[in-house]
Amino acid sequence: MSAPLSLPVPQLPEVARDLRKEVIRMLAKAGSGHPGGSLSSADLMTCLFFHEMKYDPANPRWAERDRLVLSKGHGCPILYAAMAKAGYFPMEQLQTLRELDSPLQGHPDQRFLPGLEASTGSLGQGLSVAAGIALAGRFDKRDYWTYCLMSDGETEEGQTWEAAAFAGFHRLDRLIAIVDYNKFQLDGAIKDILDMEPFLAKWESFRWHAQEINGHSIPEILEAIATAKAEKGRPHVLIAHTVKGKGVSFMENNNYFHGVAPTAEEAEAALKELDGDSSLSRALVAAGKLKKGSK
């Protein structure tokens, strides 16, 4: 089975919607997991898997494949959904998320799932791994691209900036970091815990080519990646402004759903809304049945 390396751009929004629906289904079945950050990065993941990256699900260790490190390992439901749709494993296996003996653990574990480049979940480490992979590609004279999808909260970690300094110093220009900048972390808003602004200027000071984009605009994401690939001599970062819980109105910017799976009723409402019918979502809100987090 071979993956669709580059779907037509007009098809990508529908793919992103389908991935969001799979996230809701698998989290509702598991009864645990992280919906907010999975939904916020759906458009980014769609662009990577179904337009940008080269890979072969039948040969996950193909030497010429592009590499993706999901540094924000708790957001793995969206990664698993993309991998299943790309053909790495059957779609129905998504329903085994977080079960004992399932390869789809609550954080990515490359021991059990072919196609993963790193076992992640300890936040702040993924960029170091990605920088090492990018440097190895240079040593091996490979032309693959290394992508690292990060959370905004983990950029508060010192190791992130050690890796940024390393990549900038070594001019790792086939490394593209993407920050899912949804403005929230586990305990609340980024601005209230450790405000990282001026964010773009920080990356630039570490010798990175930095761009700020709308992380839900597929054309803008693709244009930014193309711009990054054309810029030589330094690593690249896309600061993708996103909405936590994007696509489901009662989850959007509701930090309660950072790490709480939807109930059966909430999942039904979310799936209907993703299909264009928000009546059940509005009814739940009107009845006061939805919990709210910090905003």
Quickly list DSSP for 103-169: S--SS--TTTSTT-S----STT-HHHHHHHHHHHHHHTT----EEEEEESGGGGSHHHHHHHHHHHH
Helix, strand, coil percent content, the chain, rounded in steps of 5? 45, 10, 45
Rama region for 256: left / alpha / beta (φ>0; ψ in -120 to 50; rest) = alpha
Domain ranges of the chain: 9-286
pLDDT-derived band at 291 (thresholds 50, 70, 90) equals confident
Residue 182 has pLDDT above 80, yes or no: yes
Q: How confident is the model at residue 26 (pLDDT cuts 50, 70, 90)?
A: very high
- How many of the other CB atoms lie within 10 Å of CB of 94? 22
Structure tokens at 24: 């809701």
Task: Say which CATH topology domain 9-286 has.
Answer: Rossmann fold (3.40.50)
Under DSSP, is residue 60 helix (H, G, I), strand (E, B) or coil? coil
Amino acid 2: pLDDT: 46
pLDDT band at 127 (very low <50, low <70, confident <90, very high): very high
Q: What is the residue-wise DSSP string for 222-279?
A: HHHHHHHHH--SS-EEEEEE--TTTTSTTTTT-GGGGS-PPPHHHHHHHHHHHTT--H
Whole-number CA gyration radius for the chain: 18
Phi, psi of 193 (to 5 degrees): -100, -55
Per-residue pLDDT, 5:
65
**pLDDT of 3 higher than 90:** no
Q: At CA 276, angle to CA 271 and CA 279, rounded to 5?
A: 80
pLDDT of residue 289: 84
Per-residue confidence (pLDDT) for residue 129, from 0 to 100? 98
pLDDT score for 1: 40
Residues 45-81: b if buried by 16+ CB within 10 A, e if exposed: bbbbbbbbbebbbeebeeeebbbbbbbbbbbbbbbbb
Predicted model pTM: 0.96
Note the pLDDT tens digit of each residue in 246-285.
Answer: 999 999 999 999 999 999 999 999 999 999 999 999 999 8
Asked if 293 and 255 touch (Cβ cutoff 8 Å), the reply is: yes
pLDDT (0 to 100) of residue 295: 46
Q: Give residue-wise pLDDT tens across range 46-92.
A: 999 999 999 999 999 999 999 999 999 999 999 999 999 999 999 99
pLDDT at 25 over 50: yes
Cα dihedral value 205, 131, 116, 112, nearest 10: -120
pLDDT digits (tens, 9 = 90+) for 30-55: 999 999 999 999 999 999 999 999 99
